[in-house]
Structure 1
Amino acid sequence: MDQMGQLIKVGITGQGGFMGSHLFNFLGTKAEEITRVDFERSFFESNVELQKFVKSCDVIVHIAAMNRHEDEQVIYDTNIGLVKKLIDACEAENVTPKILFSSSTQEERDNLYGKSKRDGRQLLEDWATKAGGKVASLIIPNVFGPFGKPFYNSFIATFCHQIINGKEPTVINDSIVNLIYINQLSEVFFQEIIKKDTDEIQSYVVPHTTSCKVSEILTLLKDFKIQYVDNGQVPKVDLNSFELDLFNTFTSFIPKDYFPRKFTMHSDDRGAFVEIMRAGTAGQSSYSTTVPGITRGNHYHTRKVERFAVISGKALIQLRKIDSDEVFEYILDGVEPAYVDMPIWYTHNIKNIGNTELITLFWINEPYNPDDADTYFVKV
Structure 2
Amino acid sequence: MKRVGITGQNGFVGKHLYNTLGLFLEEFERVDFQKDFFENETKLDEFVAQCDVVVHLAAMNRHESEQFIYETNVGLANKLVESLKRTNSKAHVLMSSSTQEEKDNLYGKSKKEGREAIVNWAKENGGSATGLIIPNVFGAFGKPYYNSFIATFCHQLTHGEIPTIANDGEVKLIYVQELVNRIIDEIHIGQSKAECVVEPTATKKVSEVLALLNYYKEKYFDRGEIPELNNKFDHNLFNTYRTYIDHKDFFPVKFTQHTDSRGAFVEVIRLGIGGQCSFSISLPGITRGNHYHTHKIERFAVIKGKALIQLRKIGTDEVLDFNLEGREPAYVDMPIWYTHNIKNIGDEDLYTIFWIDEPFNPEDADTYFETV
Task: Give your verdict on TM over 0.5.
Answer: yes
Superposition pairs of residues 112-151 of structure 1, within 5 angstroms: 112-151=106-145
Equivalent in the alignment of 1:288: 280
Deviates more, 1:200-209 or 1:284-293: 200-209
After TM superposition, the score normalised by the length of structure 2 is: 0.98
Shift of 1:31: 2.3
Give the C-alpha shift of residue 129 in structure 1. Answer: 1.2
Bigger mean CA deviation after superposition, 126-135 or 27-36:
27-36
Counterpart AA for 1:188: R
Could you tell me how far apart the structure 2 residues matched to 1:42 and 1:311 are? 50
Which residue, 82, 101, 121 being the options, matches 2:76? 82
**Deviation of 1:288 (Å):** 1.2
Cα shift at 1:103: 0.4
Q: SS of the residue aligned with 1:118?
A: helix
| 3-state DSSP of counterpart to 1:29 | helix
Aligned-partner Cα distance in 1 for 2:31–2:304: 45
CA distance in 1, matches of 2:160, 2:212: 16
The one of 309, 319, 333 equivalent to 1:317 is 309
**AA at the equivalent of 1:368:** F
User: Quick one: distance in 1 between partners of 2:83 and 2:196?
Assistant: 26
Given the alignment of the two structures, is residue 343 of structure 1 paired with residue 335 of structure 2, yes or no?
A: yes
Q: Tell whether the 8 Å contact from 1:179 to 1:208 is kept in structure 2 after alignment.
A: yes
Distance in 2 (CA, whole Å) between partners of 1:262 and 1:289 is 20
C-alpha distance in structure 1 between counterparts of 2:281 and 2:35, whole Å: 46
Cα distance between partner residues in 1 of 2:205 and 2:88 = 48
RMSD over aligned CA atoms reads: 1.0
Q: 2:180 aligns with which of 168, 178, 186?
A: 186
Counterparts of residues 96-245 of structure 1 (less than 5 Å): 96-196=90-190, 198=191, 200-238=192-230, 241-245=232-236
Report the 3-state secondary structure (helix = DSSP H, G, I; strand = E; otherwise coil) of the residue aligned with 2:100: helix
Local SS of the residue matching 2:93: strand
Aligned partner letter, 1:362: F
**Fraction of identical pairs, as percent:** 58
Structure 1 runs (4+) deviating above 2 angstroms are none
Q: Which amino acid counterpart does residue 165 of structure 2 have in structure 1?
A: V
Residue 4 of structure 1 is matched in structure 2 by none
Residues 207-231 of structure 1: CA distance to partner in whole angstroms, max 9, x if unpaired? Answer: 0000111111111100100100110
Shift of 1:61: 0.4
Match of residue 3 from structure 1: none
Partner of 1:278: 270
What is the distance in 1 between the residues matched to 2:36 and 2:318? 23
Q: Which residue pairs with 1:297 in the alignment?
A: 289
Q: Which amino acid aligns with 2:243?
A: S
1:128/1:201 contact within 8 Å kept: no
Counterpart residue number, 1:366: 358
Instruction: Give the whole-Å Cα distance in 2 for the aligned partners of 1:39 and 1:291.
Output: 44
Identify unmatched segments of 5+ residues in structure 2: none
CA distance in 2, matches of 1:290, 1:125: 57
Give the CA deviation at 1:109. Answer: 0.9
CA distance in 2, matches of 1:39, 1:101: 16
The alpha-carbon deviation at position 202 of structure 1 amounts to 3.0
Alignment of 1:18-29 (within 5 A): 18-29=12-23
- How far is the alpha carbon of 1:85 from its aligned partner? 1.2
Deviations 1:229-251 (A, max 9, x none): 1100000124x611010001111
Within the candidate set 298, 303, 306, 1:306 is matched to 298
Superimposed CA distance per residue, residues 237-272 of structure 1 (whole angstroms, 9 cap, x where no aligned partner): 24x611010001111110012000001111111111
Matched letter for residue 298 of structure 2 = E
Corresponding residue to 1:251 among 242, 246, 249: 242
Q: Distance in 1 between matches of 2:115 and 2:187?
A: 18
User: Which residues of structure 1 form unaligned runs of 5+?
Assistant: 1-6
SS of 1:371's partner is: helix
With the length of structure 1 as denominator, give the TM-score of the two structures: 0.96
Structure 1 counterpart of 2:75, one-letter code = G
Question: How many positions carry a matched residue from both structures?
Answer: 371
Cα distance in structure 2, aligned partners of 1:24 and 1:75: 25
Deviation at 1:78, TM superposition (A): 0.6
